[in-house]
Amino acid sequence: MAEERREFPSLQRIYDLQVREDDDWQMVQKQGNQFVVNDQPFYVNGFNTYWLMVFAADQSTRGKVSELFHQASSAGLTVCRTWAFNDGQWRALQTSPSVYDEEVFKALDFVISEAKKYKIRLILSLTNNWDAYGGKAQYVKWGKAAGLNLTSDDEFFSHTTLKSYYKAHVKTVLNRVNTFTNLTYKNDPTIFAWELMNEPRCTSDPSGDTLQSWIQEMAVYVKSIDAKHLVEIGLEGFYGPSAPDRAKFNPNSYATQVGTDFIRNHQTLGVDFASVHIYADSWISQTISDAHLQFTKSWMEAHIEDAEKYLRMPVLFTEFGVSAKDTGYNTSFRDTLISSVYKTLLNSTKKGGSGAGSLLWQLFPDGTDYMNDGYAIVLSKSPSTSNIISLHSTRIATFNSLCSTKCKWGCKKKNPLEEFLYHDDL
């Protein structure tokens, strides 16, 4: 007897289900360990492109923003993480404390309005731990220029004046009225979440107390201005002193000493979901090996378990990738790594778990190779990778559109699409 043919819905049809009308463009919210929109689950397949605001600030490169969103949308990607800061650098948004370049702010307005056109939501990060685009080092420079006696960039987390500079930036961004949409940022559903900082570390205090205090203060501050949007910290996910039994999952012993503490930090009032980064090639070894895949799987599973057992919140793997500059790199390994991340997430999704999604680092449009840090994926030049991303998007979109928040696949509500959603063919 011939095998029964099953017609699986196209990505476009599912996508149309998800974004039926503009009226449905509601805030992403959290219910337990799931993200939801309009009471439907919102599992995420997304990407990073940090430089969108700077590209939008120049008319000669602004089109690349639209091009990228178009390509990402075509692959079914629904969330983009990007910078809502550029502190004191070239094309700075904030040229000095509380002084802004209006043209660059209009560029950020454009990024947000353009994302909405392509039904892509944004995670907006508010400053950097690293020197790129200014970050905490620039805040310290501003403090020194104002006559403060500062000896470490980590004083960003503890000095009252520097904290007031950061809070002023947060207040300005959240209260910004978009010149393209007339929507205040804090009221715009296009924004998925605010991120306090990209990869915060405070190595001068390995106990974690300094960073914990900063997170507590700033999460509540963001919520005092904007209670509607979700907030996340921006952490890499390293385990700290509060969970010594979890330190074995860290990539190396140094990771326990950078002042972060995954479980403790995420138990903070005002923090809605957990963030984790995955960089086996940076943390384990720059030579490609199966150990990278083994680490990635155990790292993810540990954090998903913690999010379920201790944090009771979703966890988003907000950066993951592999660099083409690594010894032994090839696109086949990149495809295997991406597939492994997606498979681990689907294993959580089908049980109604906390694994809420992932964001590739990073997606580029054509003609931007000069910005490539080694991790860039250009979909049009990477057909095998593009296919893996699109298939995962289709699976996620199908799940989001078919399953209400009250039904997990674990509830034995069988559906012919289940095989398609979770069949291990990657």
Active site residues: 199, 319
- Give the 3-state secondary structure of 316-354: EEEEECCCCCCECCCHHHHHHHHHHHHHHHHHHHCCCCC
Interhelix angle 290-306/331-349, nearest 10 degrees = 20
Taken in order 181, 184, 190, 194, is the CA torsion positive or negative? positive
The secondary element (H helix, E strand) that includes residue 111 is helix 102-117
Residue matched to tokens 């385990």: 239
Give bridge partners of residue 330 from the DSSP assignment.
Answer: none
Between CA 138 and CA 124 the distance in angstroms is 19
Between CA 87 and CA 111 the distance in angstroms is 18
How far, in Å, are 166, 221, 244, 271 from residue 212 at the CA level? 16, 14, 17, 12
Between CA 351 and CA 357 the distance in angstroms is 14
**The residue type at 218:** M
Both tokens of residue 229?
Answer: 């949007």
Give bridge partners of residue 81 from the DSSP assignment.
Answer: 48, 123
Give bridge partners of residue 124 from the DSSP assignment.
Answer: 82, 194
